[in-house]
Amino acid sequence: MSAGNGNATNGDGGFSFPKGPVMPKITTGAAKRGSGVCHDDSGPTVNATTIDELHSLQKKRSAPTTPINQNAAAAFAAVSEEERQKIQLQSISASLASLTRESGPKVVRGDPAEKKTDGSTTPAYAHGQHHSIFSPATGAVSDSSLKFTHVLYNLSPAELYEQAIKYEKGSFITSNGALATLSGAKTGRAPRDKRVVRDATTEDELWWGKGSPNIEMDEHTFMVNRERAVDYLNSLEKVFVNDQYLNWDPENRIKVRIVSARAYHSLFMHNMCIRPTQEELESFGTPDFTIYNAGQFPCNRYTHYMTSSTSVDLNLARREMVILGTQYAGEMKKGLFSVMHYLMPKRRILSLHSGCNMGKDGDVALFFGLSGTGKTTLSTDHNRYLIGDDEHCWTETGVSNIEGGCYAKCVDLSREKEPDIWNAIKFGTVLENVVFDEHTREVDYSDKSVTENTRAAYPIEFIPNAKIPCVGPHPTNVILLACDAFGVLPPVSKLNLAQTMYHFISGYTALVAGTEDGIKEPTATFSACFGAAFIMLHPTKYAAMLAEKMKSQGATGWLVNTGWSGGSYGVGNRIKLAYTRKIIDAIHSGSLLKANYKKTEIFGFEIPTEIEGIPSEILDPVNSWSDKKAHKDTLVKLGGLFKKNFEVFANHKIGVDGKLTEEILAAGPIF
Ligand SMILES: Nc1ncnc2c1ncn2[C@@H]1O[C@H](COP(=O)(O)OP(=O)(O)O)[C@@H](O)[C@H]1O
Ligand SMILES: C=C(OP(=O)(O)O)C(=O)O
Ligand SMILES: [Ca+2]
Ligand SMILES: [Mn+2]
């Protein structure tokens, strides 16, 4: 209490600083008790007689939440804590049950390494007494039915840190408090290894064939891979289970369960999905969707449809996903996003690969763009409320974030340019594949030794101006981001609706492949709806919904080039982030809408002649290129690439009479 606090004369236990230069006089507890005998000046002794007792004192168990009394959850109100845990275990056991064997491992709660108070490490179940044991089915005795699988259920970040650091190679605490991890051989998604079960329903509903991300697999092969993943997970001493939510719109919330082998994966999803409250968890029930993430355990290449040892398999009918042979955590996040791209349009809700933020006056902006174009960077804006950085839904009433966290790129991250993201990297954040000082554990964000795709995954509330709940009204501005390494797209263009649709369907960006051996040619990427890897239906389905929503809300479309200016990659430079932010500010404030515009050749963009805080000459790329002929040639070349890419969409009708299709086709480059 006040012992050791030199100015403790107030005697109320409150803390106060010693006044003046006088050194505080140390009063010991013993002296205060006035024993008068000076043989022991220590405090009271510890309330334990053994070291185990001492350790058990250290950990306090939080009281269970009071039973929920709402009508819907009335059945739960009567359920005891013990009963609740049993129901939870039964549900997890059902998730992990083998579909081909009568019996499987018994599922028990808790860490197998947890020391019991009697000093043993063998859990009480060895004597058949443990109340948490749940055996899915009885049958012929096999080694698998004699085994126990421990479930580490919805652990806290602190517990997951300990698990990762103790058991997972390459896990360290960095000086900012984040958990640094390695994702192994894969440091990005593997879209070529993604498979979707083609059955009677999905055959008609989904987009298959050229350009589609949906590479088919049959139901049986899915079950083979599912069993492989489940068997692998059950063969482990322990698995991690996360029960969480997707979508902040309460009417369209989805319950997801993620079963994984690594604490890294569990913490990643803890951060990225919406975290249930203790009460919500108690009545969680059966998940709507389950991921089996076997991580490093490969698929069997003799299995039909497998072309590598990595397989990410989606079965919409079973509402399950299986991950084999990759530990890249982004597969889970983006896999669930694919599921939302299927489920939401069925409810006439548009799913969007976009960032989203809101101004003080309630004006909402969407930021579409492929990886690396600036969705996360630009939606994280100190002057606006962050709704989300990557995945959203647009309903009849407004927008909602699908996720509960952000996944920011860390390459060359700086405190000055991106202060909010910098500060979000702290205790609880997962830092993937970054390099740090061996001793100080200070992260070097410029070091790309492991990969260029270094990442930070943090809960959205780590951003100070996050809008919780992450929902907002209808968007005012729809900003399409392209990182144009050719350097011919203007820094900003105002688009009419048909142009917005043309560029949304095109989904263009041009990143530079590699930087090691000097200059590399930029390569154009076209990815329909700025996220072809995740859409499940034909792009025109999403485009038609976007057109309808933008039209009825009177939203304005913009195309912002966050890429090169003054020449292509190698000659020009990437547009300063500070300039792009000024452009975005002018869009948000409404001032850009009132600017003077001129029309560009070939693409027919409306470009502003002036924006406050930006050198006017960069607004029209032709001015910033010293070689005018090279500029024209590059512009024509890019226009040609757009035209060629769009050919496949020319026969698809959008709108009731297909009139919009004509308009959209006419909104592309003309030369
Ligand atoms: N002018 C610019 N506008 C946006 N981002 C820029 C700009 N210049 C450099 N960058 C960098 O480009 C990257 C954009 O990535 P990010 O925001 O994560 O994209 P996304 O979320 O769309 O995948 C960040 O590392 C950011 O610092
Ligand atoms: C995580 C991803 O998203 P982004 O790069 O758009 O942030 C991804 O595409 O794997
Ligand atoms: Ca993305
Ligand atoms: Mn992002």
Determine the longest span between alpha carbons in the chain, in angstroms: 100
**Mean of the per-residue pLDDT values for the chain?**
89
Asked if the peptide bond before residue 469 counts as cis, ω within 30 degrees of 0, the response is: yes
Task: For residue 516, give Cα distances in angstroms to 164, 513, 563.
Answer: 33, 10, 19
- Alpha-helical runs (H) found in 44-80: 51-58, 74-77
Identify the bridge partners of residue 456 per DSSP, sorted by sequence position. Answer: 408, 431
Out of 35-44, 443-452, 654-663, pick the least confident. Answer: 35-44
Backbone angles phi, psi at 399, to 5 degrees: -110, 155
Task: For residue 404, give Cα distances in angstroms to 270, 333, 392, 450, 455.
Answer: 8, 11, 11, 27, 16
Active site residue 375: yes
- Catalytic residue, from 333, 334, 494, 541: name it: 334
Out of 348-357, 385-394, 520-529, 574-583, pick the least confident. Answer: 520-529
Task: Dig out the tokens for 358 from the structure.
Answer: 């809101």
Closest Cα partner for 584 from 571, 574, 575? 575
The three state secondary structure string of 409-432 is: ECCCCCCCCCHHHHHHCCCCCEEE
Active site residue 353: yes
Ligand 4 ion: Cβ-proximal residues, 5 Å cutoff:
375-376, 390
CB within 8 Å of 345: residues ≥ 6 apart = 351, 537, 541, 542, 545
Query: Residue 125's pLDDT is what?
Result: 43
Q: Per the domain annotation, does 433 fall within a domain? A: no
Please check if 353 is assigned to a binding site: yes
Task: For residue 532, give Cα distances in angstroms to 338, 352, 509.
Answer: 10, 11, 13
Q: Are residues 342 and 478 in the same domain?
A: no
Between strands 289-293 and 320-324, the pairing is parallel
Between strands 475-482 and 556-561, the pairing is parallel
Task: Dig out the tokens for 440 from the structure.
Answer: 């100080």
CA distance 52 to 114: 12
User: Is the C-beta atom of 432 inside 6 A of ligand 2?
Assistant: no
User: Is the C-beta atom of 373 inside 6 A of ligand 1?
Assistant: yes
**pLDDT for 19 beyond 50:** no
Q: What is the mean pLDDT of residues 57-83?
A: 67
- Catalytic residue, from 189, 194, 257, 581: name it: 189
pLDDT confidence bin for 653, thresholds 50/70/90: confident
The tens digit of pLDDT for each residue in 103-140 reads 778 899 999 988 654 444 444 444 433 445 565 555 56
In three-state secondary structure terms, 297 is coil
**pLDDT for 34 beyond 80:** no
The tens digit of pLDDT for each residue in 401-450 reads 999 999 999 999 999 999 999 999 999 999 999 999 999 999 999 999 99
CA distance 453 to 449: 10
Q: Per the domain annotation, does 160 fall within a domain? A: yes
* 284-299: burial string, b at 16+ Cβ within 10 Å, e else: beebebbbbbbbebbb
Q: Per the domain annotation, does 399 fall within a domain? A: no
Backbone angles phi, psi at 353, to 5 degrees: -85, 80
Please check if 369 is assigned to a binding site: yes
Contact indicator for 11, 2 with CB cutoff of 8 Å: yes
Number of Cβ within a 10 Å radius of residue 342: 20
CA distance 118 to 56: 11
Q: How far is the CA of 402 from the centre of ligand 1 (A)?
A: 21
**pLDDT for 32 beyond 60:** no
**pLDDT for 8 beyond 50:** no
- Pocket perturbation via mutation, ligand 1, pick of 272, 409, 413 by most ligand atoms within 8 A of CB: 409
Helix and strand counts by DSSP (H, E) for the chain: 19, 31
**pLDDT for 350 beyond 90:** yes
> What one-letter code names the amino acid at 620?
D
Q: How far is the CA of 372 from the centre of ligand 1 (A)?
A: 5
CB within 8 Å of 444: residues ≥ 6 apart = 434, 435, 436, 437
- Catalytic residue, from 390, 527, 624, 634: name it: 390
pLDDT confidence bin for 289, thresholds 50/70/90: very high
CA distance 555 to 654: 19
Active site residue 371: yes
Contact indicator for 229, 324 with CB cutoff of 8 Å: yes
Out of 86-100, 289-303, 357-371, pick the least confident. Answer: 86-100
CA distance 657 to 623: 42
Q: How far is the CA of 385 from the centre of ligand 4 (A)?
A: 17
Please check if 153 is assigned to a binding site: no
pLDDT above 70 as % of the chain: 86
Q: Which of 14-23, 102-111, 486-495 has maximum average pLDDT?
A: 486-495
Closest ligand 1 atom, residue 417 Cα: 27
Number of Cβ within a 10 Å radius of residue 179: 25
Closest Cα partner for 243 from 91, 18, 116, 108? 91
pLDDT above 90 as % of the chain: 75
Q: Per the domain annotation, does 559 fall within a domain? A: yes
Which range marks the domain in which residue 229 is found?
A: 43-58+81-109+145-167+184-347
Out of 19-28, 171-180, 630-639, 644-653, pick the least confident. Answer: 19-28
- Which has the higher per-residue pLDDT, 445 or 142? 445
**pLDDT for 470 beyond 80:** yes
Backbone angles phi, psi at 426, to 5 degrees: -150, -165
Query: Residue 521's pLDDT is what?
Result: 78
Q: Per the domain annotation, does 155 fall within a domain? A: yes
Q: How far is the CA of 371 from the centre of ligand 2 (A)?
A: 5
Query: Residue 465's pLDDT is what?
Result: 97
CA angle 159, 164, 165 (to 5 degrees): 100
Query: Residue 47's pLDDT is what?
Result: 87
Angle at which helix 659-666 crosses helix 497-506, to 10 degrees, equals 80
Active site residue 390: yes
Torsion 593-596-601-604 (CA) sign: positive
**pLDDT for 58 beyond 90:** no
> Last residue of a domain, which of 293, 327, 347?
347
Please check if 372 is assigned to a binding site: yes
Task: For residue 51, give Cα distances in angstroms to 47, 58, 118, 120, 162.
Answer: 11, 11, 11, 14, 21
Query: Residue 84's pLDDT is what?
Result: 87
> Last residue of a domain, which of 313, 347, 381?
347
Give strand ranges (E) for 142-182: 148-153, 172-173, 179-181
pLDDT confidence bin for 654, thresholds 50/70/90: confident
Instruction: Give ipTM to 2 decimals.
Output: 0.95
- Pocket perturbation via mutation, ligand 2, pick of 189, 407, 409 by most ligand atoms within 8 A of CB: 407
Number of Cβ within a 10 Å radius of residue 61: 5
**pLDDT for 13 beyond 90:** no
CA distance 485 to 588: 25
Q: How far is the CA of 368 from the centre of ligand 2 (A)?
A: 12
Query: Residue 137's pLDDT is what?
Result: 52
Query: Residue 658's pLDDT is what?
Result: 77
Between strands 606-608 and 597-599, the pairing is antiparallel
Q: What is the CATH number of the domain that holds 634?
A: 3.90.228.20
Query: Residue 6's pLDDT is what?
Result: 37
User: Which ligand has its closest atom nearest to the C-alpha of 330?
Assistant: 2
> Last residue of a domain, which of 304, 325, 347?
347
Structural domains of the chain, count: 2
User: Is the C-beta atom of 150 inside 6 A of ligand 2?
Assistant: no
Q: What is the mean pLDDT of residues 574-600?
A: 98
Contact indicator for 481, 507 with CB cutoff of 8 Å: no
Contact indicator for 577, 491 with CB cutoff of 8 Å: no
Q: Per the domain annotation, does 10 fall within a domain? A: no
**pLDDT for 25 beyond 70:** no
The tens digit of pLDDT for each residue in 540-551 reads 999 999 999 999
Query: Residue 21's pLDDT is what?
Result: 46
Q: Per the domain annotation, does 161 fall within a domain? A: yes
Query: Residue 130's pLDDT is what?
Result: 40
Out of 116-125, 389-398, 442-451, 555-564, pick the least confident. Answer: 116-125
- Catalytic residue, from 98, 371, 379, 476: name it: 371
User: Which ligand has its closest atom nearest to the C-alpha of 380?
Assistant: 1
Query: Residue 150's pLDDT is what?
Result: 95
Active site residue 334: yes
Q: Per the domain annotation, does 436 fall within a domain? A: no
Query: Residue 551's pLDDT is what?
Result: 97
Nearest residue by C-alpha to atom 3 in ligand 2: 371
Query: Residue 143's pLDDT is what?
Result: 80
The tens digit of pLDDT for each residue in 474-491 reads 999 999 999 999 999 999
pLDDT confidence bin for 520, thresholds 50/70/90: low
Q: What is the CATH number of the domain that holds 188?
A: 3.40.449.10
**pLDDT for 516 beyond 80:** no
Task: For residue 600, give Cα distances in angstroms to 78, 490, 491, 493, 651.
Answer: 69, 9, 12, 9, 27
Instruction: Give Cα 250 distance to the centre of its chain.
Output: 19
Q: How far is the CA of 436 from the centre of ligand 3 (A)?
A: 25
Angle at which helix 539-553 crosses helix 330-346, to 10 degrees, equals 70
End-to-end CA distance of the chain: 81
